[in-house]
Amino acid sequence: MMFARLDQLMQAPVYQLPQAEKEALLLPRLNELTHWHDQHCEPFHHLMQATQAQLHATDYGDLPYVAVRLFKHRLLSSVPNDAIFKTLTSSGTTGAVSRIVLDRDSAALQSKVLVKIMQEYIGKQRLPMLLVEQPALIQNRSGFSARGAGALGLSFLGRDHHYALDEQMQPNWPVIEAFCEKYADQPVFLFGFTFMVWQCLLEPLKKRGIKLPLSKGVLFHSGGWKKLTHLAVSASDFNQRCADVLGIQQVHNFYGMVEQTGAICVTCEHGHLHTPAMADVLIRDPKTLAVLPHKQPGLIQVLSALPQSYPGHSLLTEDLGTCLGDDDCPCGRKGRYFVVHGRLPKAEVRGCSDTFR
Ligand SMILES: [Zn+2]
């Protein structure tokens, strides 16, 4: 596999490449990956032929893409079976399960990039970590659920791991108390899935009228807002509650899917999701699939320099979002930034996935 372009992207600062410079590095790498998967993944090759796709794109809009739901129907792999190091799964609400295969190189690359991105927010030192999870989820490594893999991936960034929940998904008060006694007003790292942080930690804390002394903490959460939208909890409600009951001011949401682990997008202090150097997004009209200009909502297409063991470098998601701009977020980070609105109702995605029916 050709690594030169990947090395350049890996060495680039995560958020300081202006969009034009980033595209000049990322597009050739994405073309490389299209060729690689065309040669090594038969279903992908068939898709390229059936859609008469250009294997060499001259801009993002021309890049061939795979509908993300295809991973629910087919095992898409670009490595021999004996090179598969682990398989990630994510079960959607419909019951269909996506399967993503990783070889050792891809798995290592993904954790390396995840670390690089996270260090932008928590620094290089390993911080004491409170996971809003049950210990069993992490310790049971046989079945790699997306949730387990997500938490496990991030747990490498912390030390002295404490698990805030017990087996019944209730707050484990003695553990939380011990963590706070040990690390009150020191830099700490908290991670959990958005809904679980709200339901299993922020709500119980409020009910008990407790405020934790985690003023120098950083909280990362991911997993979508759908359940919280049903409860009428907005991002600013969530952040406010974190300040009220945890004492935490620095709260980051991130967008990333099991089909494209590693190159996550993280919200800045203005609530905008930022693409790192090794990934990007564009927005397509849900009906025509034409690329939309900034500020118009549509389907999110995610691009990533990382997926080598499966054709996930250019994916059309079923998520709705809007690109807000390039290089000009008030937080100072360069590159493209966007917001996610939620899932396309009934997943009315036209296109590639029908090729395999
Ligand atoms: Zn920003």
pLDDT digits (tens, 9 = 90+) for 54-63: 899 999 999 9
Q: How many helices (H) and strands (E) does the chain have?
A: 12, 14
Ligand 1 centroid, distance to 15 Cα (angstroms): 10
CA distance 304 to 264: 9
Ligand 1 centroid, distance to 327 Cα (angstroms): 9
**Within 10 A of 288 (CB to CB), how many other CB atoms are there?**
10
* Token pair 């008990």 in the structure block, residue: 208
User: What is the model's pLDDT at position 307?
Assistant: 93
- List of domains in the chain: 4-74+271-356 (2.30.38.10), 110-255 (3.40.50)
Ligand 1 centroid, distance to 196 Cα (angstroms): 25
Is residue 234's pLDDT more than 80? yes
SS3 41: coil
Which tens digits make up the pLDDT trace of 17-49? 999 999 999 999 999 999 999 999 999 999 999
Ligand 1 centroid, distance to 338 Cα (angstroms): 9
User: What is the model's pLDDT at position 166?
Assistant: 93
**Within 10 A of 240 (CB to CB), how many other CB atoms are there?**
12
Instruction: Return residues with CB closer than 5 A to ligand 1 (ion).
Output: 268, 270, 272, 329, 331
pLDDT band for position 139 (cuts 50, 70, 90): low
Which of 74, 69, 4, 35 lies closest to 258, judged by CA? 69
User: What is the model's pLDDT at position 232?
Assistant: 87
SS3 82: helix
User: What is the model's pLDDT at position 350?
Assistant: 47
Which tens digits make up the pLDDT trace of 239-251? 999 999 999 999 9
The residue type at 50:
A
User: What is the model's pLDDT at position 7?
Assistant: 87
User: What is the model's pLDDT at position 298?
Assistant: 97
Which of 74, 6, 45 lies closest to 353, judged by CA? 74
- Say if residues 172 and 164 touch (Cβ distance below 8 Å): yes
Ligand 1 centroid, distance to 145 Cα (angstroms): 30
Ligand 1 centroid, distance to 181 Cα (angstroms): 34
